[in-house]
């Protein structure tokens, strides 16, 4: 849907821009020439009302002239700088909650044309710990948001709710480091639930990035559903070149790379950087409000995303 909106925005910008250009360089000069000819025929005297009528823009042209600069600015901002997204699910809890509205930095990993999505100017690569928005590999019309865990060449192991990473060997190294468990610190449970089960909250470190994750130790890992990579046991993956391994912070309520594979570089949309608004969507069982109506505003959540 977002891609269709981008195409529609480009079409409208081109259409209104064409009308603006035709009016500025063709139609308006013709109106002025017609006015000059009429004034000459009238002996140099035309009343103000007649002058205004001859110089007036048609209504539809005036609308396009007014809309073009606004739409052009929106297109530039949305396509190359920042795009707003809404968090629809709890897969990134506790970092991102349902009802959060975020800004995604579109230029973080390359400037792309807004129609085909091809990178025009490369600007950077995802880092381990980045929260990325990307086109879901199994349906590119859908946008997903997850955290980058594995970079190209990394070996990822997820076993018994423990995450291990073996970074890719650097050029010239004869031996690669052994897989290391990603350190995490227990922060207790009880603030977040999966059904009736309280979730364990832990602080995890991915390089220099520290963030909280949620685990449900009463819920077994769905190893049988994991995407198997040829030559490796279930729960182990080696990230291919120009692809990334992404996981949700809510580890037992996230459909991520463990289940469908890797995120191609070409699918990257941008980096989530800021929560600009957050609506509380929680409601009691007896609430008469529709599910899409917020019950409050969480001003304390507005700010940078880590």
- Residues in contact with 238: Cβ distance below 8 Å, sequence separation at least 6, in sequence order: 153, 154, 155, 156, 229, 232
- Say what the pLDDT of residue 2 is: 57
- Say what the pLDDT of residue 92 is: 96
Separation between Cα atoms, residue 197 and residue 219, nearest integer Å? 9
Q: For the chain, what is the radius of gyration of the CA atoms?
A: 27
Among the ranges given (125-129, 145-149, 286-290), the one the predictor scored with the smallest mean pLDDT: 286-290
Model confidence band, residue 250 (pLDDT cutoffs 50, 70, 90): very high
Q: Is the pLDDT of residue 126 over 90?
A: yes
Count of other CB atoms within 10 angstroms of residue 193: 12
Q: What is the mean pLDDT of the chain?
A: 87
Q: What is the pLDDT of residues 63-97, one digit of tens each?
A: 888 888 888 888 887 778 889 999 989 999 999 99
Q: Is the pLDDT of residue 148 over 80?
A: yes
Cα–Cα separations (whole angstroms), residue 179 to 128, 167, 301:
15, 8, 35
| Contact between 46 and 38 (Cβ < 8 Å) | yes
Mean pLDDT score, 41-66? 79
- Say what the pLDDT of residue 266 is: 93
Among the ranges given (41-45, 181-185, 266-270, 272-276), the one the predictor scored with the smallest mean pLDDT: 41-45
The sign of the CA dihedral 189, 186, 234, 94 is: positive
- The angle, 0 to 180 degrees and rounded to 10, between the axes of the packed helices 2-22 and 59-76 is 130
Q: Is the pLDDT of residue 113 over 90?
A: no
Tell which residue, 158, 129, 134, has the closest CA to residue 144: 134
Written as one string, the DSSP assignment of 232-287 is S-TTEEEPPTTEEEEE-SBGGG---HHHH--EEGGGEEEEEEEEEEEEE----TT-
Model confidence band, residue 284 (pLDDT cutoffs 50, 70, 90): low
- Say what the pLDDT of residue 134 is: 96
- Say what the pLDDT of residue 67 is: 87
Written as one string, the DSSP assignment of 203-244 is EEEETTEEEEEEE-TTS---GGGSPPPTTS-TTEEEPPTTEE
Count of other CB atoms within 10 angstroms of residue 101: 16
| Contact between 278 and 297 (Cβ < 8 Å) | yes
Q: Is the pLDDT of residue 283 over 70?
A: no
| Contact between 130 and 270 (Cβ < 8 Å) | no
- Say what the pLDDT of residue 291 is: 66
Q: Is the pLDDT of residue 249 over 80?
A: yes
User: Does 64 or 263 have the greater pLDDT score?
Assistant: 263
- Say what the pLDDT of residue 4 is: 65
- Say what the pLDDT of residue 228 is: 94
- Residues in contact with 163: Cβ distance below 8 Å, sequence separation at least 6, in sequence order: 149, 156, 157, 181, 182, 204, 247
- Say what the pLDDT of residue 3 is: 58
Mean pLDDT score, 42-46? 70
Q: Is the pLDDT of residue 120 over 80?
A: yes
Q: Is the pLDDT of residue 136 over 90?
A: yes
The residues annotated as belonging to the active site are 91, 146
User: Does 274 or 285 have the greater pLDDT score?
Assistant: 274
């Amino acid at each position: 849907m977002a891609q269709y909106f981008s195409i529609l925005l480009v079409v409208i910008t081109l259409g209104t821009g064409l009308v603006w250009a035709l009016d500025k360089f063709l139609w308006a000069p013709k109106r002025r020439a017609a006015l000059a000819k009429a004034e000459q025929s009238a002996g140099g005297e035309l009343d103000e009302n007649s002058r205004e009528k001859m110089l007036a823009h048609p209504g539809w042209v005036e609308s396009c002239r007014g809309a073009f600069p606004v739409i052009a600015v929106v297109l530039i901002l949305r396509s190359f700088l920042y795009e707003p997204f809404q968090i629809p699910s709890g897969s990134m809890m506790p970092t991102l909650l349902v009802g959060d509205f975020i800004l995604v930095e579109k230029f973080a990993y390359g400037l792309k044309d807004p129609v085909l999505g091809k990178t025009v100017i490369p600007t950077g690569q995802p880092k381990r710990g980045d929260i990325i928005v990307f086109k879901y590999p199994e349906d590119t019309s859908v946008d997903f948001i997850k955290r980058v865990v594995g970079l190209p060449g990394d070996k990822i192991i997820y076993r018994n709710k423990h995450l291990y990473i073996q970074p890719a060997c650097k050029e010239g190294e004869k031996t690669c480091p052994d897989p290391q468990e990603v350190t995490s610190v227990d922060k207790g449970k009880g603030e977040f639930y999966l059904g009736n089960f309280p979730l364990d909250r832990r602080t995890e470190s991915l390089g220099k990035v520290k963030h909280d994750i949620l685990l449900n130790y009463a819920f077994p890992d769905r190893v049988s559903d994991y995407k198997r990579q040829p030559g490796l046991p279930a729960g182990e993956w080696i990230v291919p070149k120009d692809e990334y391994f992404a996981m949700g912070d809510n580890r037992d309520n996230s459909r991520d790379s463990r289940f469908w594979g890797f995120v191609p570089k070409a699918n990257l949309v941008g980096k989530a950087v800021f929560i600009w608004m957050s609506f509380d969507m929680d409601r009691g069982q007896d609430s008469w409000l529709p599910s899409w109506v917020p019950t409050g505003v969480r001003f304390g959540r507005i700010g940078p995303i880590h």
